[in-house]
């Protein structure tokens, strides 16, 4: 009987997959899925040629772009730094001269000065020109403890796929005969000076359906990459496999792991031993954070009854005990957030655990210290740091040499400040302050709560003029994301302030379900079959704004990108009467086919699988592409994407535009040939995108 059920299930899945393939074949715009296909690129260029003059010929566009360039390229921006193992600070910087950017360093003493003395490590503009390549710097992975040797990640035009090249930060040159891994999506970690752990495309059958690697190998210096030795293999149905080298504060390797991600939100940790991989007993939804005093620190996004842990907890396990007998090692609770809290960030200095905690979407910073419990387990004590209240607090880089850690403090009307804290003593020092980039004296910030369709209270922030007239006439921009446990926290945005608030606009951010504002449960409440709750939350906030007469449908515009772009597509198809402007950035849009487009298969854990009939039904109910209809009151939308986006495929935005055109609707479209998932590869392109977006919003909501 079991075999019969299995056979029937497999047959149903096969039939559904066949139906999906047939639908794709019937899609008149399926040819747009060839990223740089001649026909698709011709269509995109024609759309740019049609749409851009509508916005760039507006007399406001040039001024908006100039304003954007001014704050984007300003030299008084806070240069965000990270501690390096050699005792210095490193930063990546872009400005009007260094468009592609400088990787540079300075000392702490120099950094305290108003004008630090920087030493260039790598000039990406010079490199790109010398090599005739469209290089975009994507970061560097450096070998602890000194961080002298680094694998520099260089992307062609901003794609997620990168080329890895070994770089010596002392000689400031690429290492002759050093490690070089060709272009591709790849996960890498240093084991020692002569060994890398690397997962990449090793040939046919080594990449997942999500377009990420699932075969992990060790690669020795001086040998061809083809001779790397396999140490762990996942499956093609996984999202990806990554290496994880766990080091203590002195850089000594304490454990080597392979991390298998069967879905976007699930991880299996395997200890790599001389006798092969050993699976560790963590629940699928958990995240290892690091090592403090021999204690392995982790969070759980689901209950772990065997260890008496609840969803959202922060806990630790003695690493030696875990390695000795994984099944018998006991966890110790460090922090259990309340219903109004969420753990946003975790970082580790030499001896301390630093936690960024949210309380009703405002920030706190805590320091936890492990203490041996004699014959018993380790215990933890926590102290809250005396940083400003009612703002967002970001936990930045922490030092392995001591217990210094950087914090950022920011709010919608509060220019960002950078603080240096000593996690051991609690001493705090303000190091840098961003000068105001717009006049905030005329505005206030308020938090309201809307009631969603199922009765859930949903918070949102309103940034409005102090003298706002509650007559429904205020041009209002509402932003939201609502997915992947990403929290929308208050932050200082020169773009919003200078280009929107100073021009009389109201700015609103909705903390809808699907995000992480109240922990994993807030996220799970909007997963898969419950996806409509995310959209109902957004509509509830929109209606609340209108009911309060802050704005009206004529003056209300919305914006969102990626998963937020999907949200915009749903708003367009389900409640178009609420909005007069919709900015749809790098969106997911064709949800019935998303798993076979780009990296879409990796997000089944968020949305469900359209190859499964029941899940396809959930998705079909909100899928923007198939739910576009003739004769609906759709506003003229603005679609944005990037040809180089190898995460959310540009076909989503292309097909949305083509279908709108086929149905007779007006819309605007911009496809940046560079840019990756951010739709901008450098500051000039970012300024252009900002100016286009806010020109469109003014045309739709102000005029």
DSSP code at position 576: G
Q: Which residue, 292, 289, 298, is CA-closest to 249?
A: 292
pLDDT value at 144 more than 90: yes
Is the pLDDT confidence value at 376 over 80? no
CA–CA distance, 294 with 332 (Å, rounded to integer): 13
The mean pLDDT of 9-15, rounded to a whole number, is: 35
What pLDDT shows up at residue 378?
83
Instruction: Establish whether 677 is a catalytic residue.
Output: yes
For 401, other C-beta atoms within 10 Å of its C-beta total 15
417: confidence class by pLDDT, cuts 50, 70, 90:
very high
Please report, for residues 225, 454, 514, the alpha-carbon distance to residue 523 in angstroms, rounded to integers and kept in the order given.
40, 16, 4
The more confident residue out of 458 and 20 is 458
Band (374; pLDDT cuts 50, 70, 90): low
Say whether pLDDT at 171 is over 90.
Answer: yes
Q: Which helix (H) or strand (E) holds 570?
A: helix 563-574
Question: Which residue of the set 98, 443, 649, 677 is catalytic?
Answer: 677
Strands 266-273 and 276-279: antiparallel
Q: Which of helix, strand or coil describes residue 228?
A: coil
**Strand ranges (DSSP E) for 87-194?**
89-93, 102-106, 119-123, 135-142, 149-156, 162-168, 173-174, 180-184, 187-192
| Sign, Cα dihedral of 207, 212, 216, 220 | positive
DSSP code of residue 238:
S
User: How does the average pLDDT of the chain come out, rounded?
Assistant: 94
Residue 17 has pLDDT above 80, yes or no: no
pLDDT of residue 25: 58
pLDDT in tens, 379-415: 999 999 999 999 999 999 999 999 999 999 999 999 9
Residue 680 has a pLDDT of: 60
- Give the pLDDT of residue 24: 54
Half-sphere exposure of 579 (CA within 13 A, CB side): 29
Class of domain 437-702: alpha beta
CB 135 within 8 A of CB 127: yes
Domain span(s) for CATH 3.40.50.1820 in the chain: 437-702
Least confident of 17-21, 567-571, 669-673, 677-681: 17-21
How would residue 251 be classed by pLDDT, with cut points 50, 70 and 90? very high
Q: What is the per-residue pLDDT for 208?
A: 96
Task: Give residue 158's pLDDT.
Answer: 87
Work out whether strand 215-220 and strand 229-233 pair parallel, antiparallel, or are unpaired. Answer: antiparallel
- Which residues, 6+ apart, have CB-to-CB distance to 440 below 8 Å? 413, 414, 497, 501
Cα gap 363→360, rounded to integer Å: 8
Check whether 3 has a pLDDT greater than 60: no
68-91 mean pLDDT = 96
Cβ proximity of 389 and 418 under 8 Å: no
Side-chain half-sphere exposure of 596, counting CA atoms within 13 A: 14
pLDDT digits (tens, 9 = 90+) for 431-464: 999 999 999 999 999 999 999 999 999 999 999 9
Q: Using pLDDT thresholds of 50, 70 and 90, give the confidence band for residue 4.
A: very low
The answer to whether residues 29 and 659 touch, using CB atoms and an 8 Å cutoff, is yes
Q: What mean pLDDT comes out for the span 491-496?
A: 97
How buried is 365 (Cβ within 10 angstroms: 0-12 exposed, 13-18 middle, 19+ buried)? buried
Q: Which of 322, 316, 292, 293 is nearest to 304 (CA)?
A: 316
> What confidence tens digit (pLDDT) does each residue in 310-361 have?
999 999 999 999 999 999 999 999 999 999 999 999 999 999 999 999 999 9
Q: Does the pLDDT at position 1 exceed 50?
A: no
What's the pLDDT at 11? 33
Tokens representing residue 628 in the block: 């576009």
* Class for the domain spanning 303-436: mainly beta
Separation of alpha carbons 490 and 509, rounded Å: 8
| Residue 562 annotated as catalytic | yes
Evaluate the omega torsion of the peptide bond into residue 145 and state whether it is cis, within 30 degrees of 0.
Answer: yes
User: CATH 2.130.10.120 region(s) of the chain?
Assistant: 303-436
CA dist 298 and 161 (Å) reads 29
pLDDT band at 12 (very low <50, low <70, confident <90, very high): very low
Catalytic residue among 267, 562, 626, 678: 562
The pLDDT, as a whole number, for residue 645 is 86
Task: Please tell me the distance from the alpha carbon of residue 553 to that of residue 700, in angstroms, as a whole number.
Answer: 11
Rounded to whole angstroms, the Cα distance separating 364 from 349 reads 18
């Amino acid at each position: 009987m079991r075999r019969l059920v299995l056979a029937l299930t497999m047959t149903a899945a096969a039939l559904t997959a066949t139906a999906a393939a047939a639908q794709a074949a019937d899609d008149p715009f399926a040819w747009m899925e060839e990223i740089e296909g001649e026909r698709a690129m011709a269509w995109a260029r024609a759309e740019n040629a049609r749409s851009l003059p509508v916005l760039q010929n507006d007399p406001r566009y040039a001024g908006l772009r100039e304003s954007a360039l001014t704050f984007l390229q300003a030299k008084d921006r806070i240069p965000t730094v990270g501690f390096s193992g050699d005792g210095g600070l490193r930063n990546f910087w872009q400005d009007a001269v260094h468009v592609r950017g400088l990787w540079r360093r300075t000392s702490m003493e120099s950094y305290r000065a108003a004008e630090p003395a920087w030493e260039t490590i790598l000039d990406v503009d010079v490199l790109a020109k010398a090599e005739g390549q469209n290089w975009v710097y994507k970061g560097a992975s450096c070998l602890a403890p000194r961080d002298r040797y680094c694998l520099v990640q260089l992307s062609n035009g901003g794609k997620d796929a990168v080329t890895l090249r070994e770089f010596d930060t002392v000689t400031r040159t690429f290492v002759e005969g050093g490690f070089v891994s060709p272009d591709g999506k790849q996960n890498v970690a240093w084991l020692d000076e002569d060994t890398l752990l690397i997962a990449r495309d090793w040939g046919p059958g080594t990449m997942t359906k999500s377009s990420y690697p699932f075969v992990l190998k060790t690669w020795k210096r001086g040998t061809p990459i083809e001779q790397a030795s396999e140490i762990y293999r996942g499956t093609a149905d996984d999202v990806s496999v990554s290496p994880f080298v766990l080091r203590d504060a002195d850089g000594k390797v304490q454990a080597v792991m392979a991390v298998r991600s069967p879905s976007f939100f699930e991880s299996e940790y395997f200890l790599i031993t001389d006798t092969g991989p050993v699976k560790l007993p963590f629940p699928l939804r958990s995240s290892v954070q690091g090592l403090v005093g021999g204690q392995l620190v982790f969070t759980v996004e689901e209950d772990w009854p065997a260890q008496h842990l609840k969803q959202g907890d922060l806990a630790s396990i003695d690493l030696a005990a875990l390695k000795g007998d994984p099944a018998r090692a006991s966890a110790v609770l460090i922090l259990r957030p309340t219903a109004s809290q969420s753990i946003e960030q975790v970082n580790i200095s030499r001896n301390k655990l630093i936690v960024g905690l949210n309380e009703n979407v405002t920030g706190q910073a805590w320091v936890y210290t492990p203490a041996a419990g004699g014959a018993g387990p380790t215990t933890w004590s926590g102290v809250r740091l005396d940083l400003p209240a009612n703002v967002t607090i970001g936990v930045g880089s922490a030092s392995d040499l001591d217990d210094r850690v950087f914090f950022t403090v920011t709010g919608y009307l509060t220019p960002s400040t950078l603080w240096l804290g000593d996690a051991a003593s609690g001493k705090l020092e303000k190091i840098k302050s961003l000068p105001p980039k717009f006049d905030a004296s005329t505005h206030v910030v308020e938090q309201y709560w809307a009631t969603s369709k199922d009765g859930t209270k949903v918070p949102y922030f309103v940034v409005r003029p102090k003298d706002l007239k509650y007559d429904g006439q205020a041009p209002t921009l509402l932003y939201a994301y609502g997915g992947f446990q990403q929290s929308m926290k208050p932050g200082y945005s020169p773009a919003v302030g200078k280009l929107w608030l100073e021009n009389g606009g109201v700015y609103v951010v909705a903390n809808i379900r699907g995000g992480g504002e109240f922990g994993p449960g807030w996220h799970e409440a909007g997963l898969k079959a419950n996806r409509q709750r995310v959209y109902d939350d957004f509509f509830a906030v929109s209606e609340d704004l209108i009911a309060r007469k802050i704005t009206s449908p004529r003056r209300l515009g919305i914006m969102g990108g990626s998963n937020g772009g999907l949200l915009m597509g749903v708003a367009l198809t389900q409640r178009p009467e609420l909005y007069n402007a919709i900015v749809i950035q790098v969106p997911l849009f064709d949800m019935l086919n998303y798993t076979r487009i780009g990296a879409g298969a990796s997000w089944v854990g968020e949305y469900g699988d359209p190859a499964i009939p029941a899940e396809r039904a959930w998705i079909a109910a909100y899928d923007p592409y198939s739910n576009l209809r003739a004769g609906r009151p759709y506003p003229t939308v603005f679609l944005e994407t990037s040809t180089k986006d190898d995460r959310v495929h540009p076909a989503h935005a292309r097909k949305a535009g083509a279908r709108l055109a086929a149905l007779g609707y007006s819309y605007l479209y911009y496809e940046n040939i560079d840019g990756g998932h951010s739709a901008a590869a450098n500051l000039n392109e970012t300024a252009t995108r900002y100016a286009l977006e806010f020109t469109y919003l003014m045309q739709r909501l102000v005029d």
